[in-house]
Structure 1
Amino acid sequence: MLSKIPTNLIPHWSINFIKKYLNLGDLVLARQLFDGIPEPDVQSWTVLISAYTKNGQCKEAIKLYTEIKNSGKLNPDKLAILAVAKACATSGDLTKAKEIHFDAVKYKCSSDLLLGNALIDMYGKCKHFEGAERVFGDLRIRDVITWTSFCSCYVNCGLPRETLRAFREMGLSGIRPNAMTLSSVLPACSVLKCLNTGREIHGFGIKNGMAGNVFVNSALVDMYSSCSSIKYAELVFHNTPHLDAVSWNVIISAYFSNGECGKALDKFQEMRDRGVKLNSVSWNSVISGCLANGKAQEALELLGHMQQLGCKPNQITITSVLTACTLLEDWRGGKEIHAYAFRHCFTEDLAASTALVLIYAKSGDLEMSKRVFSMMPLKDTVAWNTIIIASSMHGRGEETLSLFNKMVISGVKPNSVTFTGVLSGCSHSQRVEEGLSIFHSMSKDHKIEPDLEHYSCMVDVLSRGGRLAEAYTFIQEMPIEPNAAAWGALLGACRIYKNVDLGRIAASRLFEIEPDNPGNYVLLFNILVTAKLWGEASETRKLMRDRGIKKLPGCSWVWVKNRIHTFVVGDKNNDKCNDIYKFLDEVRMKMKLAGYYPDTEFVLQDLDRVEKEDSLCNHSEKLAVAFGILSLRGESSVRVFKNLRICGDCHNTIKFIAKFVGVQIIVRDSLRFHHFTDGLCSCGDFW
């Protein structure tokens, strides 16, 4: 068809057909027609660039614009630059945005008001306020859109004070703000908690007929909520004539942010009852709100409702519910969500992948945790910290140090959390010299001054390494007042290395710092009993009674068939109670035949030897391990979790059970993970 039309008329004739196909939504046919034009003019290019941008294909739009420039036959005009500026704004491509600005200057159209406004908006979306300031400064004429885009740019760049300054300058310049201006500026008041300024803007909106504007009112609800004026937020919400989904989402978030979780959930239910169309933003708002208010179980239940109603979770949803799984220690749920994320290509999301690394690590599956981490295309400081802390809690000191070195080599800057994780890894694996080197490198090489937590970690490194005198000296020379963590690390090591004198000193300080912590009294009692200082041990026990301090009861739990089974010492409430105790009796007999006897040192009660042995057999972690093994159906491992430090006798018994049964047993206590395999533990019997 095109061959019958004179070459000089083809672009003018075809542009109408291109527009026609674009109006019909047929971008493919429009592109085919465009490609058939021998020498398309700038207008044809511009129409197609705009069409790609509107259809969300911003990269293709930018690519088309680049083709114009590279052809050398045509110079982009104002409209072409305007079209590609919108594509850069949508994509957030700062590099291309700077090129577009350069072209606007080069082709002498940067001072055009329409294009200038678009460039300011582009820089705002790309979060580059310096570029927006240059464009703004070059404009001889500025209208309300100019000022609104400029204020919005500062908000997007996290500069709320500059936003309010620009807003005041706008008023002084004689330009009257419109509804879009107010809705752009009010978020700055929210961030700064400027209630008075926010109320002034509210008053201006009422006087100028904007009281019913849904965008302004949504911004006002958020502003009042951020300033803890929830009553005013409710008033604005209820006076909005036409509520949309955004309005409902904002008031629900307002309730959540002010700790009124019940009202938020009631409002969400009201929103559903009124037939307001729920989108992923609505669901994500209420799910994240539940999490922020400690309602992790409710967050997971909402995910189920969301899917039942046909709304598909997105990356934000996945990240939120993975956090809920971590808080609830719902490892199986985490795996299911991981599978969903994999099927829907969400695994490249940085926050979601980092949450998965933590979930697998806390469930005892460090290998899977490392696999997820290795597959992450991008790794930020939080991601590196997560895998470092994961290796640390599993006692992999060498891996922890290796990961830290790889992090530094990769160019990712460590922060204070990084060093806490690395020092903790050195502590659990008795790497004293490496720990000292890392500690001294903080300020020397990384310009991070150690804080109280780092000093406490270093005390733990020295203490666990058996250098108790050095640890005590380190505490005395600390430039900041030692806290309970530092003295507690020393006291715990005194228990391991049977140092009574330093144990007394550390316990005395702990009784002053945290007099109600039963763990400190129990540790000192253990130290004294081991040293056969019965009189002092009795005094410690009496001190606990006199102060009304009770030892926290031990509790262990294990997942079996998608259900948590919990055990306490001497528990007989489980359906398999008889089988559990029969199994443990059998284990005890086989241990004695093999020359192993119960370590009654870990019994605090005044009982004879037989009673002490029976007491040890009833410990919650043994019961949970036995139940897990009796419930195995082809699995090769059992995972048990305990709220307190694992007892030494239980540690020895579980090592024997792992060899006797031939399975891997993973126990996470209050300090770390223990991986028991073939009669050995990953901690090397040091924890």
Structure 2
Amino acid sequence: MPTNLPTHLGFKLIKTYSDACDLKRARQLFDKIYEPDLRTWTVLISAFTKNGLPKESIKLYTLLKKREIKPDKFVLLAVAKACAASGDILKAKVIHIDAIRYGFHSDMLLGNALVDMYAKCKCVEGARRAFDELLVKDVISWTSLASSYLNIGLPRQGLGILCEMGLEGVKPNSMTVSTVLPACSELKDLLAGRAIHGFVVRSGIGDNVFICSALVCMYASCLSIKQAQLVFDNLSHHDVVSWNVILTAYFTNKQSEKGLALFYQMRNEGIQLNVATWNAIIGGCMQNGRTEHACEILRKMQDEGFKPNQITVTSVLPACTILESLRMGKEVHCYIFRHWLIEDLTTTTALVDMYAKSGDLDLSRRIFNMITRKDTVSWNTMIIANSIHGNGEEAFFLFNKMLQSGVKPNSVTFSGVLSGCSHSRLVEKGLFIFDSMRRDHSIEPDTDHHSSMVDVLSRAGRLEEAYEFIRRMPMEPTAGAWGALLGGCRVYKNVQLAKVAAKRLFEIEPDNPGNYVLLSNILGTAKMWNEASETRKLMRERGITKKPGCSWVQVGNRVHNFVVGDKTNKQSDEIYEFLNDMGKKMSLAGYKPNTDFVLQDVDQEEKANSLCNHSEKLAVAFGILNLNGQSSIRVFKNLRICGDCHNAIKYMAKIVGVHIIVRDSFRFHHFKDGCCSCNDFW
């Protein structure tokens, strides 16, 4: 219960405790004051916000209103800052209404705080309304309004506010410039960026480190790396922030060697690195395809006592997928768990993606189910995961669940669902999803969506319908559409349509060897040896060579690679002996080599022998020989899995009693108990 602690003394004590960040004691004293004055309310509300407790500030204001105390503009100013810090748009609107009710909304100090409050809450309509209510607008008013547009992803409108500001005769300050420059970066608007740079030089604010960093970023985004370096070199003082910006600029412009050189220069010059520096170099290496280098830098980062954060982890997780190292992925997962990073949505979504692309869909699903508040990206990741693993029904189910949860799908969502429908031959569902894009979600299908729909029809054997769909496409059909039709022609042995599709593919992407090989396969299967030979001859004349097939499997900490007929592995004798023995068992179980997948016009026995040494069979055999008590093996191949190998691995999985996962260039195949997850359609 409140006591009779004098108001004036109470105010002084509460201010003292608030300044010392002892908010618990300050609140206890506040509760002992019978009638705190408005200064006391303001001090305590501000103190909670400054100490990262804006919700407590809002609760205090709610208490003030319950006591029917009329706030002044300083109380409203303090609670507006609390709403801005918390991003609570509902409370923000209440504060704005109170400001109008008590006649303070036209006050420039409070009005600017209201505009900023709405900007931080990402409500541009509220910001514009509060801005328009101001009788006098200063540079802070205009800067806050521009920020509100930028915060909701409207950079062009944000730049428009800068122009409007100039027409009204208000001169931008350093805060305005550093706020608006990122819009030029996002839009890659070099002309606008240069105009702002010119203003910076004329105004004499070129030494501001935040402005210079924003200018470096802008020029880098606009692919003007020389200009970015010039701005950096002209800085009177280089702090770690400016170094990090120019470092990122080189990686953004695909100049990783210069980026790495700059990083080592920082170390040699004794620049005090921070976590952002390490994140910039790790992320930059990943973006430039230097995966192993990124992992090496991560080890150095930890050796030097820096603790990876969410950004580090999210940057490096794709390396586990690229290097096909599930073990490394699990180590990163353990780090995430130990350091309480699992609550970060971006990190958790990256984990879902890593496990799915490493072949462990069950773990991927388990982590996804742990996410309490899923966004569009996390839903898309799980939908695509199921699609690449051949679970079309599950992808379709997740899509409906996503809609029920109120999360809006985007174009990526539909690409994922359509891919799942194609791999599982869900034609009617695929057609429904495609038609619903424009009808129910106002998303215009692009070339990828049309190509996916061709794939849905082609995989289901509806080749004529797929061909007509291509002819009716509102845009020029891409290689993806014709390639999907050609793939369907291979499965359903439609030579005539295959020739039509291949002809278009030879025009669109004349240097892609896969199209020539696929057509040659189709012609060879149809015993049209002369035409198959002509296709091969065309490849040679154009100087096109087939990419050699390669398969690999990780055993322990080492990845073992295999090519066709490989005998370089230390266990080669064991591998071929195992395959020979396995061939006999498979024959007894009903396996017959599918010699359609051997293109040469040679006798059947020679064809059968040539199938035995394919890279995926060798990798699977090696994996089985080195199981070490495990119940599954994961094999990766750079090309589409051979049809005969696909059939053979089904038998091997059943005979040995293991779960064999093969990821080829198109999808994952799960072999178990003599069956494959793709239902023999790949």
TM-score class, shorter: over 0.9
Tell me by how many angstroms 1:232 deviates: 3.0
Which 10-residue stretch deviates more, 16-25 or 654-663?
16-25
Tell me by how many angstroms 1:172 deviates: 5.1
Aligned partner (choices 529, 534, 542) of residue 534 of structure 1: 529
* Change in 2 beyond 3 A, CA 1:194/1:13: same
* Change in 2 beyond 3 A, CA 1:597/1:67: same
Q: Give the TM-score normalised by the residue count of structure 2.
A: 0.92
Tell me by how many angstroms 1:164 deviates: 4.2
Tell me by how many angstroms 1:619 deviates: 0.5
Alignment of 1:421-440 (within 5 A): 421-440=416-435
Confirm or deny: 8 A CA contact 1:591 1:656 kept in the other structure: yes
In structure 1, C-alpha distance between the alignment counterparts of 2:455 and 2:171, rounded to whole Å: 63
In structure 2, C-alpha distance between the alignment counterparts of 1:133 and 1:424, rounded to whole Å: 43
**1:629-655 deviations in Å (ceiling 9; x for gaps):** 111122110010111111122112211
Report what 1:623 is aligned to: 618
* Change in 2 beyond 3 A, CA 1:193/1:640: closer
**1:657-681 deviations in Å (ceiling 9; x for gaps):** 1112111101111222111112221
* Change in 2 beyond 3 A, CA 1:491/1:242: closer
Q: Report runs of 4+ in structure 1 exceeding 6 Å deviation.
A: none
The question of 1:44 aligning with 2:35 is answered no
Q: Read off the aligned partner of 1:545 and give its amino acid letter.
A: R
Report what 1:29 is aligned to: 25
3-state SS, counterpart of residue 249 of structure 1: helix
In structure 2, C-alpha distance between the alignment counterparts of 1:266 and 1:101, rounded to whole Å: 52
The question of 1:507 aligning with 2:514 is answered no
Tell me by how many angstroms 1:628 deviates: 0.9
Report what 2:320 is aligned to: 325
Report what 2:399 is aligned to: 404
Q: Read off the aligned partner of 1:515 and give its amino acid letter.
A: P
**1:545-589 deviations in Å (ceiling 9; x for gaps):** 333332221111111112221111111111221211111111012
Confirm or deny: 8 A CA contact 2:325 2:554 kept in the other structure: no
Which 10-residue stretch deviates more, 213-222 or 321-330?
321-330
Alignment of 1:629-644 (within 5 A): 629-644=624-639
3-state SS, counterpart of residue 259 of structure 1: coil
Tell me by how many angstroms 1:467 deviates: 2.6
* Change in 2 beyond 3 A, CA 1:437/1:196: closer
Report what 1:367 is aligned to: 362
3-state SS, counterpart of residue 556 of structure 1: strand
Q: Give the TM-score normalised by the residue count of structure 1.
A: 0.92
Tell me by how many angstroms 1:170 deviates: 4.2
Which 10-residue stretch deviates more, 661-670 or 243-252?
243-252
* Change in 2 beyond 3 A, CA 1:241/1:530: closer
3-state SS, counterpart of residue 140 of structure 1: coil
Gap runs ≥5 in structure 1 = none
Confirm or deny: 8 A CA contact 2:659 2:672 kept in the other structure: yes
In structure 2, C-alpha distance between the alignment counterparts of 1:41 and 1:456, rounded to whole Å: 69
In structure 2, C-alpha distance between the alignment counterparts of 1:140 and 1:229, rounded to whole Å: 42
Alignment of 1:115-130 (within 5 A): 115-130=110-125
**1:222-272 deviations in Å (ceiling 9; x for gaps):** 333334333332232222222222222222222223332222222233333
In structure 1, C-alpha distance between the alignment counterparts of 2:541 and 2:520, rounded to whole Å: 15
In structure 2, C-alpha distance between the alignment counterparts of 1:227 and 1:242, rounded to whole Å: 24
The question of 1:337 aligning with 2:335 is answered no
Aligned partner (choices 11, 16, 34) of residue 12 of structure 2: 16
Report what 1:57 is aligned to: 53
Gap runs ≥5 in structure 2 = none
**1:513-570 deviations in Å (ceiling 9; x for gaps):** 3333332333333333333333333333333333333222111111111222111111
Alignment of 1:51-130 (within 5 A): 51-72=47-68, 74-130=69-125
Q: Read off the aligned partner of 2:520 and give its amino acid letter.
A: F
In structure 2, C-alpha distance between the alignment counterparts of 1:503 and 1:217, rounded to whole Å: 58
Report what 1:572 is aligned to: 567
Confirm or deny: 8 A CA contact 1:348 1:377 kept in the other structure: no
Aligned partner (choices 452, 466, 470) of residue 475 of structure 1: 470
Report what 1:676 is aligned to: 671
* Change in 2 beyond 3 A, CA 1:60/1:681: same
Confirm or deny: 8 A CA contact 2:7 2:36 kept in the other structure: yes
In structure 2, C-alpha distance between the alignment counterparts of 1:442 and 1:220, rounded to whole Å: 40
3-state SS, counterpart of residue 552 of structure 2: strand
3-state SS, counterpart of residue 634 of structure 2: strand
Tell me by how many angstroms 1:193 deviates: 4.4
In structure 2, C-alpha distance between the alignment counterparts of 1:486 and 1:636, rounded to whole Å: 39
Confirm or deny: 8 A CA contact 1:195 1:224 kept in the other structure: yes
3-state SS, counterpart of residue 6 of structure 2: helix
Report what 2:242 is aligned to: 247
Q: Read off the aligned partner of 1:13 and give its amino acid letter.
A: L
Aligned partner (choices 255, 258, 274) of residue 253 of structure 2: 258
In structure 1, C-alpha distance between the alignment counterparts of 2:453 and 2:173, rounded to whole Å: 58
Report what 2:596 is aligned to: 601
In structure 2, C-alpha distance between the alignment counterparts of 1:196 and 1:525, rounded to whole Å: 52
Tell me by how many angstroms 1:277 deviates: 3.3
Aligned residues: percent identity?
64
**1:443-476 deviations in Å (ceiling 9; x for gaps):** 3333334333333323322222223333334334
**1:76-129 deviations in Å (ceiling 9; x for gaps):** 222222222222222222222222222222222222332222222222222223
Which 10-residue stretch deviates more, 354-363 or 608-617?
608-617
Which 10-residue stretch deviates more, 360-369 or 635-644?
360-369
**1:44-98 deviations in Å (ceiling 9; x for gaps):** 22222211111111222222222222233x2222222222222222222222222
Report what 1:311 is aligned to: 306
3-state SS, counterpart of residue 552 of structure 1: coil
3-state SS, counterpart of residue 564 of structure 1: strand
Q: Count residues in correspondence.
A: 681
Q: Read off the aligned partner of 1:419 and give its amino acid letter.
A: F
Confirm or deny: 8 A CA contact 2:174 2:205 kept in the other structure: yes
In structure 1, C-alpha distance between the alignment counterparts of 2:192 and 2:475, rounded to whole Å: 41
The question of 1:385 aligning with 2:375 is answered no
